[in-house]
Amino acid sequence: MTDARHALIIANDRYTDQGLKKLKAPARDAAALEKVLHDPQIGAFEVEVVHNASADLMRRRIQGFFKDRRRADTLLLHFSCHGLKSESGELYFAASDTEPPLLAATAVPSQFVRSCMSVTRAGRTVLFLDCCYGGAFSRGSSSVRASGDVNVLESFAKDEPVSGRGWAVITASDSMEYAFEGDELADDSSGPRPSVFTHAVVEGLETGEADLDADGKVSLDDLYEYVYRQVQEQNPHQTPKKAAELHGELHLAHSRRGRIKIAAIPSPPSLQTALNSDDILTRQGAVLELQKRLHHTELPLAEGARQHLEEVARNDIQQIAVMASDALSKIRLAPSPDHLDFGVVQKGSAPHKQSVTMHGPPLARHCVAQPKQSWLRVDPTGTGLEVRVDTAAEGRLSGDIALKGVAEETVIHVEAEVTPAHGPRPTEPETGPAKDSTTPPHGTDGKRETVVIEPSRIPARPKTPPGTTPQVNRTDRRAPALAGAALALAVAAIGTLVLAIQRAVAALMERGEAGLYGNVEDNIREHGALTPLTVCLITGAVALVAGAVARHDVGARQEHYTRQAASTTHTLTSIAQGLAIPALVLAVLAGIAYLVGSPHW
């Protein structure tokens, strides 16, 4: 179930045929791309680089790259070389030993690459083509005379892969016209350079600027949009193109820009083994345990559980994937309120304030707040964040604060109306913000600051309002009490089971002494063996339910319990389960034996 990521970079800049131009960029670009893709904090790919290889070696490496993959794998193939078109219009990738008159024998056809992509079992496949289709031949070369359009995407978008969840092709340019008239090369001197495209890819991933929606991940769409803009700015004659058949969003890399970064602690090996078990019940139990770890106060542990649950939600069967998705839904960002209306405020007045409370487990409360407008101010508080409005400019203000967590993002919408100082008297905001005349407006330079909201700053209990008597939070005792009740019920189930067995044995012995004319049903009823058996079934079931409710309450309301209370609850419920489950199993078997055997005794 491990999501493996593999990349193959093919860079050819030296060619045996004197007619093919030598390229300056491929070697340097390949090294830069390898570094950023291999970086565990960015791409986390296993990268292989093939430099100035022959056509035979290129075909071997390409076929081997796509062979023996798994559905959870993501593959990325990058070409940086000359692209050539045969007289029949087929696209070829030039190798170091390519002879232009013999393309079929000495170059790698695009059809071969497309075939390898079509039969691979990898779930996601991405192909980057940074190839120069114009000016491929040196001046004075008469080895090939060709003209016309090179429709690159048409060479790859004909067949949908047999297996997997999707593929994508991004090319530095799609259709370039090149022609040779005698010994003169009739191409545009400002034609595309391969380094422009790959440099944009590397820069976008390395700096995180390609994370256009600032969600902490660089998707395929993000990267394409970023590269398209960068290439067009540097060379208007070059237009990157994209074709894709994808199910869902494909994330190529992590972004260091404006994202929550938590160094995850992997789940224990025993739990990971359970996740890979062939037994469905074992995997379900592992998902339940991950759900508990997801609510842990130690964020690295919770993040490790979240990453494992995401793998399960993507790759397991529907029944278990739904369980994992439901568990992940519990860590969604939950700001309250998510809409702030400051009403009418006067220009130049002290900044008005409103508070937003973050709800949910610690992992859900850990997020980044990014104001989208320069007039918004955000500061972290003990329960979430404080929002202020800069009243320097008049007019109707409407903006958003983007909250970005480890799993998702949401928006807090803010509205206000700033009137002239001599205008109508300002109305009080809905939540009654406190005016602070001693706090000067800050951030007047128009910059939007990013604020990190730490869950550790949120107190375990709400503050007691002034003038009121502090009250004990009864939920602090509810889970341990339920766990104790569950244990008592489990012990009662064991006791009643033992009593039922004793009475059943006495009834069977009496039936044996009665001989031919005895009736086991009469003996069992006379000794009252069915009553404790029924009580055992009821108390055992109630014990399991009470234990499950107690553990759920500790997980869902972890901030209301001390570590000792949570530990006591887990210990008591575990013992209760260990007693109640065997009691229930034996009671059910005894009941079945009675129903099946009594007519024959």
Reported as a single tens digit per residue, the pLDDT across 494-527 is: 998 898 888 888 877 776 766 655 566 677 777 7
- The better pLDDT of the pair 233, 596 is held by 233
> Which pLDDT does position 18 carry in this prediction?
86
- As for how many domains the chain has, the answer is 4
Angle at CA of residue 167, ends 163 and 171, nearest 5°: 150
- The better pLDDT of the pair 314, 95 is held by 95
601 pLDDT more than 70: no
How far is it between the farthest Cα atoms of the chain? 117
| Paired tokens of 264 | 């995850």
Residues 129 and 178 in one domain: yes
Identify whether the C-beta of residue 77 lies closer than 8 Å to the C-beta of residue 62.
Answer: yes
Residues 379 and 318 in one domain: no
pLDDT band at 437 (very low <50, low <70, confident <90, very high): very low
190 pLDDT more than 80: no
Highest-pLDDT range among 7-21, 318-332, 449-463? 7-21
434 pLDDT more than 50: no
82 pLDDT more than 60: yes
Three-class secondary structure of residue 472 per DSSP: coil
Average pLDDT over residues 154-174: 66
> Which pLDDT does position 377 carry in this prediction?
84
Residues 47 and 177 in one domain: yes
pLDDT band at 259 (very low <50, low <70, confident <90, very high): low
Q: Is 238 within the bounds of a domain?
A: yes
Average pLDDT over residues 306-330: 87
CATH of the domain at 137: 3.40.50.1460
Q: Is 261 within the bounds of a domain?
A: no
Average pLDDT over residues 210-225: 84
Range(s) of the domain holding residue 363: 334-457
- The better pLDDT of the pair 384, 190 is held by 384
Residues 428 and 290 in one domain: no
- Give Cβ neighbours of residue 570 (< 8 Å, ≥ 6 apart): 483, 551, 554
Residues 98 and 239 in one domain: yes
Identify whether the C-beta of residue 88 lies closer than 8 Å to the C-beta of residue 129.
Answer: no
pLDDT band at 310 (very low <50, low <70, confident <90, very high): confident
Question: Which amino acid is it at 120?
Answer: T
Residues 449 and 491 in one domain: no
Of 297, 313, 329, which marks where a domain is finished? 329
Q: Is 465 within the bounds of a domain?
A: no
Q: Is 272 within the bounds of a domain?
A: no
Q: Which residues of 451-470 are buried (b: 16+ CB within 10 A; e: fewer)?
A: bebebeebeeeeeeeeeeee
Taking only the tens place, the pLDDT of each residue in 262-300 is: 778 888 888 888 888 888 888 888 899 998 888 888 888
Taking only the tens place, the pLDDT of each residue in 401-417 is: 888 777 677 888 999 88
pLDDT band at 7 (very low <50, low <70, confident <90, very high): very high
| Paired tokens of 242 | 């994209």
Identify whether the C-beta of residue 6 lies closer than 8 Å to the C-beta of residue 76.
Answer: yes
Identify whether the C-beta of residue 428 lies closer than 8 Å to the C-beta of residue 343.
Answer: yes
Residues 146 and 65 in one domain: yes
Question: Which amino acid is it at 150?
Answer: V
pLDDT band at 138 (very low <50, low <70, confident <90, very high): very low
- The better pLDDT of the pair 163, 509 is held by 509
Helices (H), 52-121: 55-66, 103-106, 110-119
> Which pLDDT does position 35 carry in this prediction?
92
What span, in angstroms and rounded, lies between the C-alpha atoms of 411 and 404? 9
> Which pLDDT does position 590 carry in this prediction?
83
pLDDT above 70 covers a percentage of the chain that reads 76
> Which pLDDT does position 460 carry in this prediction?
39
> Which pLDDT does position 471 carry in this prediction?
42
pLDDT band at 57 (very low <50, low <70, confident <90, very high): very high
Q: What are the angstrom distances between the C-alpha of 265 and each of 269, 306, 367? A: 12, 10, 19
58 pLDDT more than 90: yes
Give residue for tokens 């209301």: 560
Residues 553 and 432 in one domain: no
Q: Is 387 within the bounds of a domain?
A: yes
Q: Is 566 within the bounds of a domain?
A: yes
Residues 160 and 294 in one domain: no
74 pLDDT more than 90: yes
pLDDT band at 167 (very low <50, low <70, confident <90, very high): confident
473 pLDDT more than 50: no
Of 457, 488, 513, which marks where a domain is finished? 457
Q: Is 346 within the bounds of a domain?
A: yes
Residues 324 and 338 in one domain: no
141 pLDDT more than 50: no
Q: What are phi and psi of 197, to 5 degrees?
A: -70, -55
Q: Is 432 within the bounds of a domain?
A: yes
443 pLDDT more than 50: no
Residues 250 and 303 in one domain: no
CATH of the domain at 403: 2.60.40.10
Of 329, 363, 394, which marks where a domain is finished? 329
> Which pLDDT does position 551 carry in this prediction?
83
184 pLDDT more than 60: no
Give residue for tokens 């790919």: 45
Three-class secondary structure of residue 52 per DSSP: coil
Q: Which residues of 589-601 are buried (b: 16+ CB within 10 A; e: fewer)?
A: ebbeebeeeeeee
Residues 525 and 539 in one domain: yes
> Which pLDDT does position 50 carry in this prediction?
96
> Which pLDDT does position 439 carry in this prediction?
35
162 pLDDT more than 60: no
Its pTM stands at 0.45
> Which pLDDT does position 256 carry in this prediction?
58
37 pLDDT more than 70: yes
Question: SS3 breakdown of the chain: % helix, strand, coil, rounded to 5?
Answer: 40, 20, 40
Average pLDDT over residues 457-473: 42
